[in-house]
Amino acid sequence: MKKLKVWGLIIGILACIVGVYFYLSEDSGLKLNLKKNDPVAAKEAQTKIDKSFEAPISSKVMEEYETMSDGKLIQEVHNMTHQKVEADKKWGSSEITADKVQKLYDVIKNKNFKNGSTKSMLLEILEPWLGKDFTNAVSAHNRIWSYQNGNIGKATRLLTPQEELEYIEEEFR
């Protein structure tokens, strides 16, 4: 009987420690799930994402696109998809903004690529983005990822607005 009381006390203490950990941990799965399913938080996050999409970009960044090689342009679009998708590994990031999407689209459209299918792929990816439609981000990421012979970091789904906002704040702010 005494052993049962001791074990009960130990289990109770451990349960309290785990509970306190989840309560204090901002990254706990419990809290993230609550945030993911909160439509008010999703709307607030989407409003902030939309605001960052409209943020102006320096002319220096925009000018760099004009001199980028085919490979760097491909990588830039790939890096942009990282803001929108879930993947085990992500190497590189570039914030998606209206100015950048428009400039990339214009540069790619007017550039002579060594491989014409590369140009077509990039324009097909960017065209919906011009109208703020990023529903193709998973397929866009994986098309580029396959094109680059990727074997780690395949995109599996779109991020929730809260996850995307968290990504933007960690990577770009």
Render pLDDT for 19-74 as a digit per residue (tens, 0 to 9).
545 554 444 444 444 455 688 999 999 999 999 999 888 888 888 999 999 999 99
Domain co-membership, 14 together with 78? no
Q: Which pLDDT value is given to residue 167?
A: 96
**Structural domain total, the chain:** 2
Q: Are 105 and 154 found together in one domain?
A: yes
pLDDT for 85: 98
Query: What's the whole-number mean pLDDT along residues 124-145?
Result: 97
Question: Which whole-number Å values give the CA distances from 95 to 28, 63, 171, in the listed order?
Answer: 26, 16, 8
The answer on 50 and 33 residing in a single domain is no
Query: Across-strand partners of 85?
Result: 158
Tell me: pLDDT of 101 over 90: yes
- Within this chain, do residues 67 and 147 fall inside the same structural domain, yes or no? yes
Same domain assignment for residues 92 and 66: yes
- Residue 30: predicted pLDDT: 40
Does residue 21 share a domain with residue 71? no
Same domain assignment for residues 74 and 52: yes
The predicted pLDDT at position 5 comes to 66
pLDDT of residue 56: 87
Shared domain for 125 and 81, answered yes or no, is yes
Q: How far apart are the first and last CA of the chain?
A: 58
pTM confidence score: 0.76
Residue 43 shares a structural domain with residue 31: no
- Residue 146 and residue 63 in one domain: yes
One domain, residues 122 and 44: yes
Examine the domain organization and report whether 51 and 20 are in the same domain: no
CA distance 159 to 95: 15
Domain around 124: 39-172
pLDDT score, position 17: 61
